[in-house]
Amino acid sequence: MKQVAAATALATGVAAEVFFSDTFDDMKKWTQSKWKPAEEHADFEIKAGKWSADEKEDLSLATTKDAKFYAASASFKPFSNKGKTLIVQYQAKYDKDIECGGGYLKLGPKMEKPEEFGDPTPYNIMFGPDKCGYTKRTHLIFSYKGKNVLKKSDISYKQEQDGVSNLYRLIVTPENKVKVEIDMEEVYSGDLEEDWDLLPPTEILDPEDKKPEDWVDEEYMDDPEDKKPEDWVEEEEIVDEEAKKPEDWDNEEDGEWEAPKKKNPAYKGAWSPKRVKNPKYSGVWEQKKIPNPEYEKPEALYAYDEFAFVGLDLWQVKAGAFFDNLIITDDVAEADKMAKKWQKLVEVEKEKLKVATSTTTTTPGEADEDIEDDKDDDDDDDKDEEE
């Protein structure tokens, strides 16, 4: 089995913990959920994606049917991250454009019925890629007092190159700091209180502060000394005096004839007085702010009393997503060990993708073989759908 040990000794003598890990050789740790009706739901499968380095070594948790909901969770011994660094890391790969759907994890407290895990299930953290059309980002949601709070600004979406695995890492520290790395590169680093609206504002408008009745908001006013000139013409149209009633006009049949109108050559437009500074202008009134009596910053904003499951609850328009090498730990060294699997795999994927997309290295005969292979794959997919 391709598994990381549950605990290792650090050089400092403090035991690092791996709270959960899985390299998806099988589904033994996972419970498939049936929270959606059968016609809307599909089960995850264990299989390798395109361009794997080793099909047995690179087995993954995969989605295989289009336009379906997927949900599965794995339970583990409950733990709290209070006083600990929490690291969540996993691989995600799309073998084709997902079009609309998610690839994120949910972590939360113990569930009584894992077989009902789904969108309504409470969770502590949601993390990972999400896309629908042109809207795409790396989701990072923290739950606080029963409310799921999305980060104020989006984190980069890196799931751009189909067929290539991306490594997602979330780090949450006891200093209420959060960091996100994708493919071992930092894409976000910040503070829980500053970048999520988890807490009420530190100040609120003073309900006792009212705008004075004699407060003047108008900075400018009409000039009382500016008068409209006597020769100012506001009529835009006038009767055309040169117009003649047609000779065949019949008042009984056509009605009383009226001369048409034409544009007034003397028209000067609508007149309005000049604007001048208002001598009574009081300025912009702003309601005073006072400390918010409901604001109370907890010392451990980052901490949750319990983590006991990790799950994927997804909708995907186009299937073909692969998830692998998941680890939840408090030690970066353990996460780095798992990351080496990704580093080895992604080098092979990129090289195979390069060859597959090259037009200069494919001979006509090879192209025909590729078409036949694709046809065989399509036939296999059709059989799977029938089953």
pLDDT digit string, tens, across residues 170-206: 999 999 999 999 999 999 999 999 999 999 999 999 9
Q: Return d(Cα 9, Cα 11) in angstroms, integer.
A: 7
DSSP 167-222: EEEEEE-TTSEEEEEETTEEEEEEEHHHHS--S--SEEE-TT----TT----SEEE
The whole-number pLDDT of residue 199 equals 92
Mean pLDDT of the chain: 88
DSSP string of 8-77, one letter each residue:
EE-TTSPEEEEEEEE--SSSTTEEE---S-GGGB---EEE--TT-S-TTTT-EEE--SSSEEEEEEEEEE
Pairing of the two strands 321-329 and 15-22: antiparallel
pLDDT beyond 70 at 363: no
Residue 185: CB atoms within 10 A of its CB come to: 11
What are all long-range contacts of 197-201, with beta carbons under 8 Å and residues at least 24 apart? 197/149, 197/152, 198/142, 198/144, 198/149, 198/301, 199/144, 199/295, 199/296, 199/297, 199/301, 200/292, 200/294, 200/295, 201/292, 201/295
**CA 90 to CA 326: how far, in whole Å?**
4
State yes or no: pLDDT of 361 exceeds 70.
no
pLDDT digits (tens, 9 = 90+) for 103-126: 999 999 999 999 999 999 999 999
Are 103 and 94 within 8 A, CB to CB?
A: yes
Per-domain boundaries in the chain: 7-195+301-355
pLDDT value of residue 298: 80
pLDDT of 71 above 90: yes
pLDDT, tens only, 285-314: 999 999 999 898 888 999 999 999 999 999
Tokens linked to 264 = 């007034």
| Phi/psi of residue 282, nearest 5 degrees | -100, -5
pLDDT in tens, 31-61: 999 999 999 999 999 999 888 888 888 999 9
Give the up-direction half-sphere exposure of residue 270: CA atoms within 13 A in the CB hemisphere.
Answer: 1
Q: What is the DSSP letter of 260?
A: P
Which tens digits make up the pLDDT trace of 247-274?
Answer: 888 888 888 988 899 999 999 999 999 9
Number of other residues whose CB lies within 10 A of the CB of residue 107: 24
Tell me the CATH class for 7-195+301-355: mainly beta
Least confident of 93-107, 316-330, 352-366: 352-366
d(CA 196, CA 191): 8
- Whether 5 shows a pLDDT value over 50: the answer reads no
DSSP sequence for 298-367: -TTTT--S-EEEEEEEEEESS--EEEEEEEEES-HHHHHHHHHHHHHHHHHHHHHHHHHH-SSS--HHHH
